[in-house]
Every structure is written in C-alpha cells, then in structure tokens.
Structure 1
Amino acid sequence: MTKEVNCKVECVNGCILGDECPNKEYAKEAKKFLDDTSLDKMLEMAEAARLKKLTQPPKWVIPDEI
C-alpha cells in the first residue's frame, strides 16, 4: 500500500518516499533535461515565456460573490 503524501508540502527538503515515490519518472525526465540543456538555452526559454506572458491580454477574475 502506497502512503498518501502531499509532495508539495512534505517533500520540500527531498523525497520522503524514496524508491516508492510515484513521481520518480518525472524526476528522471527533469534530470535528463537539466543534463542535456545548457544554462543559456534555459535562460532563452525562460525569456521567451516571459515575453509571451507580457504580450498576452490581462485575464480578469470575477469572484462568484459580488
């Protein structure tokens, strides 16, 4: 039986489940990305995402209760 864990809260200092972690595959993908992608390329990606967000129109959030 796998223990229910809120990773965002309980694993902030590292995974507490170890080999039983259901998110191991994502960690492998992230490590591969970090190993294969230069810092300059990551900065280019971040800047492109920032510029895209700046050019999008504002999103209005209307509360349910006014």
Structure 2
Amino acid sequence: MEQKINCAEACVNGCILGDKCPNIEFREATAKFVEETSLDKMLEMAEERLRKKMTEPPKWVFPEDP
C-alpha cells in the first residue's frame, strides 16, 4: 500500500520517502532546473512574473447563491 503524506509539511528538510516518493519526477526536474539556471536568471524570471501579475486586472470571486 502506498503511503500518503503531505509533502509540503513532512518533507520541509528533505524528502522522507526517498525513492518511493510519488513526486520523484518533479524532484528530478527541479534539481535539473536549479543546476542549470543561474540565480540572476531565476530572479529575472520572478520579477517578470511579478510585473505581469501586478498588471493583471483583479479576479473577483462571487459566492454561489444558496
């Protein structure tokens, strides 16, 4: 049986499931991204996304009628 955990809480200091992690492909992709991308490029990407988000119109959420 596959063990279900909340990775955001349980794996704060590193993956606790190791090779049995259901998110292993994401972990590998993330490691590759961090290895190949400079910090300056990451900061540039973050600034670009923030600028884009700041220029988007607000998104209104209307409650459903009972």
Please, what TM-score do these two structures have when normalized by structure 2?
0.85
Structure 2 match to 1:51: 51
* 1:27 positional shift: 0.7
Structure 2 match to 1:12: 12
Structure 2 match to 1:32: 32
Which of the pair has the greater relative contact order for Cα pairs under 8 Å at 6+ separation? 1
Count of residues paired in the alignment: 66
Unaligned runs of 5+ in 1: none
Secondary structure of the residue aligned to 1:50 is helix
After TM superposition, the runs of 4+ consecutive aligned structure 1 residues lying more than 3 A away are none
Distance 1:17 1:56 in 2: 39
Q: Partner amino acid for 1:54?
A: M
Over aligned residue pairs, what C-alpha RMSD do you find? 1.6
Q: Deviations over 1:38-58 (max 9, x none)?
A: 111111101110010011001
Unaligned runs of 5+ in 2: none
Distance 1:14 1:37 in 2: 21
Distance 2:46 2:31 in 1: 18
